[in-house]
Amino acid sequence: MMTAKEYIDSLRKLNTRVYMFGEKIDNWVDHPMIRPSINCVAMTYALAQDPQYEDLMTATSNLTGRKINRFAHLHQSTEDLVKKVKMQRLMGQKTASCFQRCVGMDAFNAVYSTTYEIDEACGTGYHENFKKFLIMVQDEDLTVDGAMTDPKGDRSKAPHQQSDPDMYVHVVERRADGIVVCGAKCHQTGSVNSHWHLFMPTISMGEKDADWAVSFACPSDAEGLYMIYGRQSCDTRKLEEGCSIDVGNAKFGGQEALVVLDHVFIPNEYIFLNGEYQFAGMMVERFAGYHRQSYGGCKVGVGDVVIGAAALAAEYNGVEKASAVKDKLIEMTHLNETLYSCGIACSCEGCPTKAGNYQIDLLLANVCKQNVTRFPYEIVRLAEDIAGGLMVTMPSQKDFESDLPVGREGETIGEICRKYFATREGVSAEERQRVLRFLENMCLGAAAVGYRTESMHGAGSPQAQRIMIARQGDIEGKKKLAKNIAGIQ
């Protein structure tokens, strides 16, 4: 397994094409807006080296028998599924961010089981292709972006009906040695920080969509592949000097980008679906199911930090004993642990796929994610309530540190800030500044991308879960129960 440093060094060896603010970014590894997201992924490597987290962060590969990072593991039991959620909660607690590497893990598990069933039905050789690819990923301890979300153009039209065929990733040429693909994937979490990309379709498809029913892997710096970095709320604070407190979380952050495939050649050995349109939906459903389980871990870990920060803000203001504050913290904890309960429940109720790896209970995973589209918003509302308005009105770090005299007796801007933003004894103005800026970042700054909007739309928007809940909820079975008790024939 790689160390955190080896992971960061390995990124420098890639020729990944990254664009931001209309320019090509050559040294993206050290770019102040990108680096926090790299630090996050690096934590998936660092914690795997730490003996106290070995049980959660590592696993034994069913393919090779070797010890691997759990982020590259195929779940072999419900216990593995539970450990996955616990690992994600731990990672959320350590970074207060989206740590990005889960999309690859969830894609591995979905593509592994789906390729087995495609081969069984169609006599193809995708499963062997995929196993070879995954052994490389496990042995080299690579980070892989599981890439699903196409731009989708006109949502009322199927892929083959779009006026621009690139609205969904598709095959433009079939050769004896492989395929050439075009298209793009939107808001790709961790794409710049990944060594490889694993592409999957984004919706169920019909016969006419066969050219769009395609799954494959390619290196992040493949010829014809490039990324346009997504910006986040308040992101340019990271570019300001002497602004580390104002940033809120100077070390960690999330990342999304638009990934473009402009006539990228994919050799046969890296193809996992190529025209078998009947299986596009299975791949989508399984990946989405795993990622909806994931949110019962990662968002809970981040929630732990938000709750802790709100409690600190209350303590610093001297109101921590107020019953109203205590009750708000109880409510936040209740909501957060409800999400965790869903993540654990869908894992415990998992079952083996035909390929042998374990899948979560799909209904419970969708319930988990549906709750995630709501509860973090309420947790954040309560955090803002406890924090008070100062969270968004406080002068800058530079003001707090300024030596410019402004008062009648020569008091500096810094002294005036520290005087008026002082609070209870034993708490410095800087500590208060730090905790409030952290909450600002979580509630409406760059980190709100991961904690709020990603909770809404990541792993599928709320309606996508409601469709699955409708499909899995067995209303007919429930009607029978009612008829039986009520004595209706």
Checking phi first, is residue 472 left (phi over 0); if not, alpha (psi -120 to 50) or beta? alpha
58 is catalytic: no
Taking CB under 6 A as the criterion, the residue among 1, 20, 59, 98 binding ligand SF4 is 98
Residue 455: CB minimum distance to Fe ion, A: 9
Nearer Cβ to ligand SF4 (103/329): 103
454 is catalytic: yes
- In the block, tokens 């390929």 appear at 355
Confirm or reject binding of residue 458 to ligand SF4 (CB under 6 A): yes
Three-state secondary structure readout of the chain: CCCHHHHHHHHHCCCCCEEECCEECCCHHHCCCCHHHHHHHHHHHHHHHCHHHHHHHEEECCCCCCEEEHHHCCCCCHHHHHHHHHHHHHHHHHHCCCCCCHHHHHHHHHHHHHHHHHHHHHCCCHHHHHHHHHHHHHHHCCCEEEECCCCCCCCCCCHHHCCCHHHCCEEEEEECCEEEEEEEEEEEECCCCCCEEEECCCCCCCHHHHHHCEEEEEECCCCCEEEEECCCCCHHHHHCCCCHHHHCCCCCCCCEEEEEEEEEEEEHHHEEEECCHHHHHHHHHHHHHHHHHHHHHHHHHHHHHHHHHHHHHHHHHCCCCCHHHHHHHHHHHHHHHHHHHHHHHHHHCCEECCCCCEECCHHHHHHHHHHHCCHHHHHHHHHHHHHCCHHHHCCCHHHHCCCCECCCCCCEHHHHHHHHCCCCCCCCHHHHHHHHHHHHHHHHCCHHHHHHHHHHHCCCCHHHHHHHHHHHCCHHHHHHHHHHHHCCC
Confirm or reject binding of residue 368 to ligand SF4 (CB under 6 A): no
Contact 290, 109 (CB under 8 A): yes
- Taking CB under 6 A as the binding criterion, the range among 98-106, 225-233, 308-316, 321-329 that sits at the site for ligand SF4 is 98-106
Confirm or reject binding of residue 365 to ligand SF4 (CB under 6 A): no
**Residues in 184-203 that interact with ligand SF4 by CB under 6 A:** 189
Nearer Cβ to Fe ion (104/458): 458
Confirm or reject binding of residue 100 to ligand SF4 (CB under 6 A): yes
Nearer Cβ to Fe ion (302/387): 302
Confirm or reject binding of residue 252 to ligand SF4 (CB under 6 A): no
100 interface partner picked from Fe ion, ligand SF4, none, CB below 5 to 8 A per type: ligand SF4
Q: 276, 384, 440, 454: which one is catalytic? A: 454
Residue 305: CB minimum distance to ligand SF4, A: 13
Nearer Cβ to Fe ion (78/189): 189
Residue 369: CB minimum distance to Fe ion, A: 10
Nearer Cβ to ligand SF4 (201/301): 301
**Residues in 103-132 that interact with ligand SF4 by CB under 6 A:** 103
98 is catalytic: yes
Taking CB under 6 A as the criterion, the residue among 102, 137, 413, 448 binding ligand SF4 is 102
102 is catalytic: yes
Q: 298, 368, 417, 443: which one is catalytic? A: 298
342 is catalytic: no
**Residues in 286-345 that interact with ligand SF4 by CB under 6 A:** 294-295, 298
Nearer Cβ to Fe ion (289/458): 458
Q: 31, 58, 98, 114: which one is catalytic? A: 98
Q: 189, 202, 353, 373: which one is catalytic? A: 189
298 interface partner picked from ligand SF4, Fe ion, none, CB below 5 to 8 A per type: ligand SF4
Binding-site ranges for Fe ion (CB under 5 A)? 189, 458
Confirm or reject binding of residue 39 to ligand SF4 (CB under 6 A): no
Residue 143: CB minimum distance to ligand SF4, A: 11
Residue 282: CB minimum distance to Fe ion, A: 21
Confirm or reject binding of residue 454 to ligand SF4 (CB under 6 A): yes
- Closest among 298, 264, 290 to 146, alpha carbons compared: 290
With b meaning 16 or more CB within 10 Å and e meaning fewer, what string describes 286-295?
A: bbbbbbbbbb
- Closest among 178, 206, 201, 198 to 263, alpha carbons compared: 178
269 is catalytic: no
With b meaning 16 or more CB within 10 Å and e meaning fewer, what string describes 208-245?
A: ebbbbbbbbbbbbebeebbbebbebebbebbeeeebbb
Residue 440: CB minimum distance to ligand SF4, A: 21
- Taking CB under 6 A as the binding criterion, the range among 99-107, 192-200, 331-339, 345-353 that sits at the site for ligand SF4 is 99-107
Nearer Cβ to ligand SF4 (99/226): 99
Strands 170-175 and 178-189: antiparallel
291 is catalytic: yes
- Taking CB under 6 A as the binding criterion, the range among 22-30, 93-101, 193-201, 207-215 that sits at the site for ligand SF4 is 93-101
Nearer Cβ to ligand SF4 (162/189): 189
Q: How far is CA 433 from the centre of its chain?
A: 28
256 is catalytic: yes
Q: 126, 170, 226, 256: which one is catalytic? A: 256
Nearer Cβ to ligand SF4 (191/433): 191
Residue numbers annotated as active site:
98, 102, 189, 256, 291, 295, 298, 454
Residues contributing to the site for ligand SF4 (CB under 6 A): 98-100, 102-103, 189, 294-295, 298, 454, 458
